[in-house]
Chain A
């Protein structure tokens, strides 16, 4: 059996997915990105090899994607996140026509056609509002972990508004809410609404082929409070894959595997 590895060298996390010839994930690993992206990827790769029964010699290809893709020195090829996410998202759910990814420093809305080809995409504006960084900074302000945001937001009982979606301005608004004794659960729900508003703006800019299903990728999709909020803003169901944070890495691996098959066919 031969395997292919996909690496998503994101701005916050390094995600690795190893797939077999049937496109089945056989191992995965995620670590926080260090200052040296290549070293972080190697570390994650070694961990993946050490914790799975797969022999390194059976891995016959490595495709990197993500913000740090060009720093990964041991990969064979690179692709952008847009391609990786479209392939990964469409493979997971072929009836998906829109893939939303809320990454560490970029948010993307990608429209794909019935064959999974990218027909349009829109990315966030230059500021970090509407990205994972926004949640990271603001949750630190509230003294809660990102992992707790979803659970806490479910206990909100009032709808607040964060009038600004600039990360720095939002942070100062949060400080002001805290000073006024506002419940942190309500502030978190307002954060989710702010980020959802940004994403919906992008969603309406992208030219979709039809009203097919929407898939949310990226680690932020593990935040059930945000998924619920986004779904409400879009007034549509939002699908979340089992391992949303690996969608890009999985797509990168699938892409490389297909490319190699195509070459063989040629």
Chain B
């Protein structure tokens, strides 16, 4: 079996070459938001590119501040989401990483994760005259049967939209296989996280966060499953001999992509993040043995940020117990209003359960919003309060 590292490198290279290759082969390109049902698009031979993921790459390449500054040339407010600012800035930035994303033939946006991305895509559509399709997901509730026909109708419209703009039909066999692969990738993704229930945890939070990419770029393909299978096998083979006497932490919310380790440099074997709940947002609920539209509706309507506040708090609370954490670090991410709303009620719940927590303020991608000393002081103080 190939190593996880080599599979990941291949997925990464294929993804960033896919735009240029699609242009050569005459295949259509779509910009999609993070939780778009890409299985439908890929089963129609559409190459899917994720501008949010591109913003992550720019941020991780230390370009966020310059690219966000470049977005001011187009008069964008600096209060907007940093992913969108980086993306807007790429148009005015001389050498964006990987040369930027190629111009798409269509834009597909959803509101099941973020209330801003579909507005961002709307603006792109208006400015560059690119056809846009928006899928509206009502907030997830236990009674999915009420919203299912509404979402299904939109999926049918999406297929018609793609047919209209590409002359391509959906390959239902391919769709079925994609969905089965997506479910398998999610199962493996969850298994990878669950390795960290062990004491000591075999994976660092950085390793998990840096393994997220295939869940976007290659979900629905065998290569994503190959990657996670290889990584799990590798991690299971290594017995971590580190001390077991450590403080275990849950990092609630987004990582900080611009940091070398994606998290502040304040953790070690005795004080470690064993789970970042953000990465588990990609563990979508594909029902067993289903490869049809119902499976997609289930998966994409129950995304984390599309859930009710109570559900989200219950979920994080349960994770804190399942992973036996000693404390929770809540990242108040300036860019994500939806995620910000959870923090105060979550802290109240954790307090009732006697799980200490601390809030740190920053941003997922904008390095200029990170005050290293302030963040470190809060985390070090938290560590002391847990230790004494």
A binds B: yes
Chain A residues in contact with chain B, CB under 8 A?
67, 79-83, 106, 117-123, 125-126, 205, 207
Bound complex: CA A205 to CA B330 (Å): 13
Bound complex: CA A106 to CA B380 (Å): 15
**Which A residues are in CB contact (< 8 Å) with B388?**
83, 117-118
B78 CB, min distance to chain A CBs, angstroms: 14
Q: Mark B370-388, 1 if CB is under 8 A from A, else 0.
A: 0101100110111011001
Bound complex: CA A126 to CA B359 (Å): 12
Whether A118 and B385, one on each chain, are in contact in the complex, defined by CB atoms closer than 8 angstroms, is yes
Shortest Cβ distance from B385 into A: residue:
A118
Whether B385 and A121, one on each chain, are in contact in the complex, defined by CB atoms closer than 8 angstroms, is yes
Asked whether A83 and B384 contact (CB < 8 A) given A123-B378, A126-B371, A126-B374, the answer is: yes
Asked whether A106 and B377 contact (CB < 8 A) given A83-B384, A207-B348, the answer is: yes
**Which A residues are in CB contact (< 8 Å) with B102?**
none
B351 within 8 A of A: yes
Whether B381 and A81, one on each chain, are in contact in the complex, defined by CB atoms closer than 8 angstroms, is yes
Chain B residues in contact with chain A, CB under 8 A?
344, 347-348, 351, 356-359, 361, 369, 371, 373-374, 377-378, 380-382, 384-385, 388
B73 CB, min distance to chain A CBs, angstroms: 24
Whether A122 and B374, one on each chain, are in contact in the complex, defined by CB atoms closer than 8 angstroms, is no
**Which B residues are in CB contact (< 8 Å) with A126?**
361, 369, 371, 374
Bound complex: CA A207 to CA B381 (Å): 16
**Which B residues are in CB contact (< 8 Å) with A205?**
344, 347, 359
Shortest Cβ distance from B362 into A: residue:
A126
Asked whether A106 and B358 contact (CB < 8 A) given A81-B381, A120-B351, the answer is: no
Whether A207 and B378, one on each chain, are in contact in the complex, defined by CB atoms closer than 8 angstroms, is no
Whether A82 and B385, one on each chain, are in contact in the complex, defined by CB atoms closer than 8 angstroms, is yes
Asked whether A83 and B378 contact (CB < 8 A) given A125-B361, A205-B344, the answer is: no
**Which B residues are in CB contact (< 8 Å) with A119?**
356, 385
**Which B residues are in CB contact (< 8 Å) with A122?**
359
Shortest Cβ distance from A79 into B: residue:
B384
Bound complex: CA A83 to CA B357 (Å): 16
Bound complex: CA A82 to CA B377 (Å): 9
**Which B residues are in CB contact (< 8 Å) with A67?**
373, 377
Asked whether A120 and B356 contact (CB < 8 A) given A82-B385, A207-B351, the answer is: yes
**Which A residues are in CB contact (< 8 Å) with B356?**
119-120
Bound complex: CA A125 to CA B362 (Å): 10
Shortest Cβ distance from B332 into A: residue:
A125
Among B344, B357, B373, B378, chain A packs the most CB atoms within 10 A around the CB of B378
**Which A residues are in CB contact (< 8 Å) with B351?**
120, 207
Q: 8 A-B contacts, Cβ less than 8 Å apart?
A: A81-B377, A83-B381, A83-B384, A83-B388, A118-B385, A121-B382, A126-B361, A205-B347
Q: Nearest 10 pairs between A and B by C-beta?
A: A82-B381, A207-B351, A118-B385, A80-B381, A83-B384, A80-B380, A126-B371, A80-B384, A126-B361, A123-B378
Whether B371 and A82, one on each chain, are in contact in the complex, defined by CB atoms closer than 8 angstroms, is no
B209 CB, min distance to chain A CBs, angstroms: 23
A78 CB, min distance to chain B CBs, angstroms: 9
Shortest Cβ distance from A209 into B: residue:
B351
Bound complex: CA A122 to CA B381 (Å): 10
Bound complex: CA A10 to CA B310 (Å): 41
Asked whether A83 and B385 contact (CB < 8 A) given A121-B358, A126-B361, A207-B347, the answer is: yes
**Which A residues are in CB contact (< 8 Å) with B357?**
120
Whether A106 and B374, one on each chain, are in contact in the complex, defined by CB atoms closer than 8 angstroms, is yes
Among A67, A83, A119, A122, chain B packs the most CB atoms within 10 A around the CB of A83
Shortest Cβ distance from A112 into B: residue:
B385
Shortest Cβ distance from A255 into B: residue:
B388
**Which B residues are in CB contact (< 8 Å) with A79?**
384
**Which B residues are in CB contact (< 8 Å) with A123?**
374, 377-378
Bound complex: CA A73 to CA B265 (Å): 22
**Which A residues are in CB contact (< 8 Å) with B378?**
123
Shortest Cβ distance from B351 into A: residue:
A207
